[in-house]
Amino acid sequence: MKYLITALSLVFAVTTSSCQESVNKKMIANSDAPKVVVLAFQKKYPKESDPDFQTDSHGYWEAHFKKKGEKYRADFHADGRWIETENSIKVSELPQVIQDKINTTYAFYEISEVEHVMSASKGEFYDVEFKQKGKNKDIEFRKDGTVIE
């Protein structure tokens, strides 16, 4: 019985590995992104198998994908280094301390977008975009409500 379980485990591991390799090759073949960027994405998000890649105005590679029904965007340098991952959230999903700060300090602005961001250089933060004439104003908050300058 032990040998049967061991043999089945080995077959399962080989099959799983072969399937993942097949997904990896297909994703690389179907993408305009450099292979190193696709592989970096796969390493960072191994369970995500269908990202859409495009370049942004800075020349970074953006991987657009869904996770549990929510839209995410992960940015990478052309050499595969991860920059950040963000997803849009509702104002009500902001930590209460940030909501309180917005209600007292930025109440005169209308919010146009809120994002939760994980960044290689800044760590975790919340990016709140306020409408204003001309270019909208972005303010980045730490979880504790402090503003990132």
Q: Say what the pLDDT of residue 110 is.
A: 95
Alpha-carbon dihedral 4, 23, 60, 138, rounded to 10 degrees: -70
- CATH number for the domain formed by residue range(s) 2-148: 3.10.450.360
| Structure token digits, residue 49 | 């198998």
- What is the pTM (predicted TM-score) of this model? 0.78
Categorize the per-residue pLDDT at 69 as very low, low, confident or very high, splitting at 50, 70 and 90: confident
Q: Is the pLDDT of residue 29 over 90?
A: no
DSSP 76: E
Query: What is the C-alpha separation between 16 and 54, in angstroms, rounded?
Result: 29
| Structure token digits, residue 71 | 């839209």
| Structure token digits, residue 118 | 């994980």
Categorize the per-residue pLDDT at 149 as very low, low, confident or very high, splitting at 50, 70 and 90: confident
| Structure token digits, residue 115 | 């994002």
Signed CA dihedral, 106, 138, 140, 114: sign only: positive
pLDDT digits over 8-18, tens only?
344 444 444 44
Extended beta strands in 16-142, E state:
52-55, 61-67, 70-76, 82-88, 110-119, 123-131, 137-141
